[in-house]
Amino acid sequence: MHILFLTHYFPPEVNAPASRTYENAKRWIKGGHRVTVITCAPNHPRGIVYPGYRNRLRQWDEKDGIRILRVLTYLSPNEGFLKRTCNYLSYMLSATALSPLVRDVDVVISTSPQFFCGMAGLWVSLLKRRPWVLEIRDLWPESIIAVGAIKHRSIIRLLEGLENLLYFRADHIVSVTRSFKQHIISRGVEPECISVLTNGADFEQFRPMAKRNGVREALGLKDKFVASYIGTHGMAHGLDTVLKAAEILRGKDQIVFLLIGDGAERERLLRQKESLHLQNVLMLPQQPKEKIPEFLAASDASMVLLKRNDLFKTVIPSKIFEAMAMERPIILGVEGESRAIVEQGGCGVWIEPENYNELAQTVLALSEEPDRVEKLGLNGRRFVEAHYSRDILAERYLRLVEKTATLKLAI
């Protein structure tokens, strides 16, 4: 089977959509299938093309047997509604226009988190007369409304109309959370047309490693308790909470907050850190994906944070599973499904989202309870192995895609 996968993000970009697509695709390749990805020149989150790539009409690439077609897009940093919309629209147009370069396709998959990529899947499937699977990794436009990126009611209604169009035209929908599935059902889609396939952990990459490694030595963290946040510094994450917690713990020299990543809020957070003279906060830029396990290993606890908003009760940040796989306890500032997973697995501590006092108290308590930290980490590894293996999830996804393609083409 030849799978054509449309995604706005792909390695060497290191965000969750890029990782999910790549990790599934390389497993499908190992299973004897062909996978072609249509994506952009890597530029997330600053809108600057990575070294070795060019933003041109088309550029062919290959990674682990995955054939990659990178198409021309309007480049924009991951901030500002209008410019980002132009970026998304340009990808939709380029991916659709250049899709004829990919031949002998059996099925088309396109993924959110922005549904212009989803819509590209619709157009390409119509051009190729092939089944289309829509993957929902985020709820649009709900997620951009939640962070205040758009407020104009007419624009919101237009985007909601496009959202419904995609749901009803897809041959099958893959949702990464149960809450997303319930939302889609509420729009009138039949439950049997939606499958839930969560994110998971790649046990080859994320596995228990020694805490005292080169990262700790290089950063001067040898005898510190390190609470890390590794990921996008965006409007949705509320990372001011970390800086305020660090201010409360200013006098606790054994504790360091480590923030690694990039995004729309990073520069502002850096300025805030400097203005508060927070010596117990270390902020590093985005790191290559292959280096992330070393930073997680050097951490004593992994912070997973989002702002307080009902929409975020529906999401499951993929960094939860990576921390579990590396036996690192989770400090979770997210409600809903994420909280249920962490509590069921006995692998972390839940705090109220954006509650910096509670974050400070939790970090301090964990720094004084090494046995508890170790137990939470061990619980997480056992739980993720039992329920969230990327190998098993990729196989389920493949079976679903094969079934969809077979049923559609038989009609």
Tokens of 231: 């990921």
Domain borders along the chain are 2-200+389-406, 214-387
Residues 6+ apart with CB under 8 A from 353: 238, 241, 305, 306, 307, 308, 309, 312, 333, 334, 335
Quote the pLDDT of residue 173.
96
Q: How far is CA 371 from the centre of its chain?
A: 31
Q: What is the pLDDT, as a whole number, of residue 76?
A: 83
Find out whether 198 and 229 touch, Cβ atoms under 8 Å.
no
Tokens coding 176: 């990464």
pLDDT of residue 141: 59
| The predicted structure's pLDDT at residue 150 | 56
What DSSP assignment string belongs to 275-314?
Answer: HHT-TTEEEE----GGGHHHHHHT-SEEEEE--S-GGGGG
Taking the mean position of all CA atoms in its chain, how far away is CA 25? 16
Whether the CB-CB separation of 113 and 17 falls below 8 Å is answered with yes
Angstrom distances, CA of residue 318 to CA of 22, 198, 232, 237: 14, 9, 12, 14
Tell me the mean pLDDT per 10 residues along the chain, length 411: 96 91 96 97 91 94 97 84 84 96 96 84 96 88 55 68 88 94 92 95 93 88 95 91 97 96 92 96 93 95 94 90 97 96 97 97 98 98 96 96 81 54
Helices (H), 40-80: none
Among the listed residues 22, 296, 64, 21, the one whose alpha carbon sits nearest the alpha carbon of residue 176 = 21
Confidence at residue 409, expressed as pLDDT on a 0 to 100 scale: 60
The pLDDT, as a whole number, for residue 212 is 79
Confidence at residue 159, expressed as pLDDT on a 0 to 100 scale: 72
What is residue 44's predicted lDDT score, i.e. its pLDDT? 87
Q: How confident is the model at residue 85, as a pLDDT?
A: 82
Strand pairing class (58-63; 66-71): antiparallel
The whole-angstrom separation of Cα 317 and Cα 329 is: 15
- Give the pLDDT confidence score for residue 79 in this predicted structure: 66
The pTM score is 0.88
Q: What number of other Cβ atoms are within 10 A of residue 113's Cβ?
A: 20
Topology at the third CATH level for domain 2-200+389-406: Rossmann fold (3.40.50)
214-387: CATH, from 3.40.50.2000, 3.40.50.720, 3.30.750.24, 3.40.50.300: 3.40.50.2000
